[in-house]
Amino acid sequence: MILNLPLIVILTLLITTETCPNPSAVFTLKMPQTYNKAFIPLESNPQVFNELIALLGASPRLQFKDVFTLDDPTALPQKILALVLIFPTTPTFEARLTIEDAGAKDWMVEHDEEDEDAVWFKQTINNACGLYAILHALANGRAKDFLTPMDPAQAAMVLESSKELEDAYATIATKGDTAAPQSAEDEVYFHYICFVKSPDTGHLYELDGDRKGPVDKGIPNEVEKVDLGAESVDIVRNFILQGGDNIGFSLLALTEGA
């Protein structure tokens, strides 16, 4: 068994869920009304991420690592289960998402569990996109077999109301190399999303809790069926390039170790 997630298992039973390189320096807005509560944003730091997934019950074999370049395949970590991208939400990015989501189906309304190829959580907690990216990384790919299928609307509510999850998150969120915002309701301009493959079909998915649902990026032409290979990395690189004025991003890989 690769993964043991007692907290996430509890969540499923309840329903049968450059980062902010310096969060305190980039907030200016107040929490949007679309969110029901707020968390302090995570720093995009592998040590912080690894401490949080350990509290969530992840095996020590699973580790987040920095990805310093996408241009040299030999410099990439081995056995990449998921990629978490952190980037500034620029006007170019927001405009592109508005266009892409205009014709997209609402996963919360039209979701069919029988056709589910990715586990996706609607984000209802402000500034918790780092947490949602972590949960997307753990709940998909090789970890998918360890989780019970869940309705996304119910999953969003469970994540929002779970005291165990909030306590685990709060223990870690104030750690890192930079100061956290004084108020969790202060909005930040950096966002986390996750890229992960379906172990059933090999499709690569972009998972962002702020969107209408999972975004199918197709089947990468690569040897790896579940792990992310060179073409998956190229898809992530193209996402970054589409940002145009997006110059401050960072990338973390969820990897399997010995």
52 contacts 134 by C-beta, under 8 angstroms: yes
pLDDT at 221: 94
What is the set of active-site residues? 129, 191
21 vs 111, which has greater pLDDT? 111
Do the domain assignments include residue 45? yes
* pLDDT tens digits for range 195-214: 999 988 999 999 999 898 99
3-state secondary structure of 86: strand
Do the domain assignments include residue 169? yes
Percentage of residues in the chain having pLDDT higher than 70: 68
Do the domain assignments include residue 187? yes
- When mean pLDDT is compared across 55-64, 112-121, 142-151, 164-173, the lowest value belongs to 142-151
Q: Rg of the Cα trace of the chain?
A: 17
Measured distance CA(64)–CA(87) in Å, rounded:
17
pLDDT at 189: 73
Task: Copy the structure tokens of residue 240.
Answer: 């970054």
**Residues in contact with 94: Cβ distance below 8 Å, sequence separation at least 6, in sequence order:** none
Strand 125-126 to 37-38 pairing: parallel
Q: What is the total count of domains within the chain?
A: 1
Do the domain assignments include residue 184? yes
Do the domain assignments include residue 1? no
CATH of residue 167's domain is 3.40.532.10
- The pLDDT confidence band at residue 225, using thresholds 50, 70 and 90, is confident
- The pLDDT confidence band at residue 14, using thresholds 50, 70 and 90, is very low
90, HSE (Cβ side, Cα atoms, 13 Å) = 15
Measured distance CA(65)–CA(86) in Å, rounded:
13
75, HSE (Cβ side, Cα atoms, 13 Å) = 7
Domain that holds residue 235: 6-256
What is the mean pLDDT of the segment spanning 246-253?
A: 82
Predicted TM-score (pTM) of this structure: 0.78
If you ran DSSP here, which 8-state letter would residue 85 be given? E
Is the model's pLDDT at 157 over the cut of 60?
yes
Lookup result for tokens 């970890």: 143
Q: Which of 192, 252, 229 is nearest to 64 (CA)?
A: 252
- Sign of CA pseudo-dihedral 234, 240, 243, 247: negative
- Please give the mean pLDDT across all residues of the chain: 75
Task: Copy the structure tokens of residue 105.
Answer: 């189906």
* pLDDT tens digits for range 118-154: 888 888 888 889 989 998 998 888 765 544 555 656 5
